[in-house]
């Protein structure tokens, strides 16, 4: 009888431990764009890492409980060719991610402070994709603004971050080189998207990243700011509207997208949405600043768009 009692107690202990362990393991997001409801349900789980991009002064005033401020400049470097806003070396990237407390089992959600913060928050998503963390990273739909509109909890408390131990595995396939862009322009299944404002695409407004104004010949224009609703919610448009915008640019389900802008920041928003919708997509990280360095490469000011968005 004593043995049976001990055995029952051991079973209860094991079952309770397993239940507790399960409650501390965040389920991977099924989508790359997660709702405030999903975040609220998982906010206290130990494997969740909530990264906040915006102004540090504003972050100190208010942020979602548990959020960790991201200094985007730890993830952007100038390379030996003088190209700005490029990806860091593997060891530097891994160090930056560990400083945020990221581990191999972490589930990461990126929160943008407002509409202005979306491109760099998306750039962080792209960088984590490049680091081989695909499937464990999502973006909060509406960001901090969406969270606040629903009167969800905020705090000014900044917790101590314990260093993480993530080991990254660089995924070079998400980054397109200049040579891949040149080859892609000869392939009808590859669509080159310019994510800059239309004025820079047409060359009527100066892009300070190059002395050669206009766009890569053959590229179509999808301005990054057209992906969000034209109101104060900071929400991305619905999937149907986003897919229609891509179809209007002759992008099919089997197309491969290469996206670029001035230096690879604005283009990150289009990269993220393409990934969210399930398209095969790469970033030409060098963007127009790299392309324009070679005077033999064509730049145009005429439109190749099939429609406006």
pLDDT at 199: 96
Q: Which has the closest alpha carbon to 73: 137, 27, 120? A: 120
Query: 30: burial class by Cβ within 10 Å (0-12, 13-18, 19+)?
Result: exposed
Whether residues 66 and 122 share a domain: the answer is yes
pLDDT at 27: 59
Whether residues 100 and 188 share a domain: the answer is no
pTM higher than 0.85 for the full model? yes
Element (DSSP H or E) covering residue 127: helix 118-130
Q: pLDDT digit string (tens) for 109-155?
A: 999 999 999 999 999 999 999 999 999 999 999 999 999 999 999 99
Whether residues 192 and 132 share a domain: the answer is no
pLDDT at 186 over 70: yes
Q: What is the CB neighbour count within 10 angstroms for residue 28? A: 11
Residue 52 falls inside a structural domain: yes
Whether residues 228 and 140 share a domain: the answer is no
User: DSSP assignment of 199-238, as one string?
Assistant: HHHHTSS--TT-SS-SEETT-EE--GGGGB-SSSS-PBPP
Exposure letters 97-121 (e unless 16+ CB within 10 A, then b):
bbebbbeeebbbbbbbbebebbbbb
Q: What is the DSSP letter of 155?
A: B
Q: pLDDT digit string (tens) for 14-66?
A: 333 333 333 344 556 668 999 999 999 999 999 999 999 999 999 999 999 99
> 211 falls in which pLDDT band (50, 70, 90)?
confident
Residue 82 falls inside a structural domain: yes
Whether residues 30 and 131 share a domain: the answer is yes
Question: Is there a contact between 140 and 147 (Cβ–Cβ < 8 Å)?
Answer: yes
Whether residues 183 and 294 share a domain: the answer is yes
Whether residues 228 and 130 share a domain: the answer is no
Range of the domain at 35: 26-149
pLDDT at 82: 85
Q: How far apart are CA 32 and CA 125, in angstroms?
A: 10
Q: pLDDT digit string (tens) for 213-268?
A: 999 999 999 999 999 999 999 999 999 999 999 999 999 999 999 999 999 999 99
pLDDT at 29: 65
pLDDT at 101: 97
Number of domains in the chain: 2
Residue 142 falls inside a structural domain: yes
What is the arithmetic mean of pLDDT over 102-113?
Answer: 97
CATH number at residue 95: 3.40.250.10
Tokens representing 263 are: 């230096």
Residue 157 falls inside a structural domain: no
Whether residues 225 and 263 share a domain: the answer is yes
Whether residues 123 and 194 share a domain: the answer is no
Q: How far apart are CA 152 and CA 287, in angstroms?
A: 39
Among 149, 167, 202, residue at a domain's last position: 149
């Amino acid at each position: 009888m004593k043995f049976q009692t001990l055995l029952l107690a051991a079973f209860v202990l094991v079952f309770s431990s397993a239940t507790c362990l399960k409650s501390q393991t965040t389920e991977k997001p099924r989508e790359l764009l997660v709702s405030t409801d999903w975040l609220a349900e998982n906010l206290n789980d130990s494997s969740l890492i909530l990264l906040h991009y915006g102004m540090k002064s504003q972050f100190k005033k208010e942020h979602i409980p548990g959020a960790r401020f991201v200094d985007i400049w730890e993830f952007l470097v100038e390379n030996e060719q003088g190209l700005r806003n490029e990806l860091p070396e593997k060891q530097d990237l891994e160090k930056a991610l560990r400083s945020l407390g990221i581990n191999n089992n972490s589930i990461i959600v990126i929160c943008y402070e407002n509409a202005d913060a979306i491109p760099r928050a998306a750039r962080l998503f792209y960088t984590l994709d490049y680091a081989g963390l695909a499937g464990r990273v999502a973006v909060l739909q509406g960001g901090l603004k969406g969270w606040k509109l629903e009167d969800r909890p905020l705090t000014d408390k900044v917790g101590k971050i314990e260093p993480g131990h993530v080991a990254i595995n660089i995924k070079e396939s998400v980054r397109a080189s200049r040579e891949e862009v040149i080859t892609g322009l000869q392939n009808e299944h590859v669509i080159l998207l310019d994510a800059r404002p239309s004025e820079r695409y047409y060359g009527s407004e100066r892009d300070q990243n190059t002395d050669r104004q206009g766009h890569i010949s053959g590229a179509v224009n999808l301005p990054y700011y057209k992906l969000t609703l034209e109101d104060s919610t900071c929400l991305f448009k619905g999937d149907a509207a986003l897919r229609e915008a891509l179809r209007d640019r002759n992008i099919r389900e089997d197309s491969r997208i290469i996206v670029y802008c001035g230096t690879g920041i604005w283009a990150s928003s289009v990269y993220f949405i393409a990934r969210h919708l399930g398209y095969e997509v790469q970033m030409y990280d060098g963007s127009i600043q790299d392309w324009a360095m070679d005077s033999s490469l064509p730049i145009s000011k005429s439109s190749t768009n099939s429609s406006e968005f």
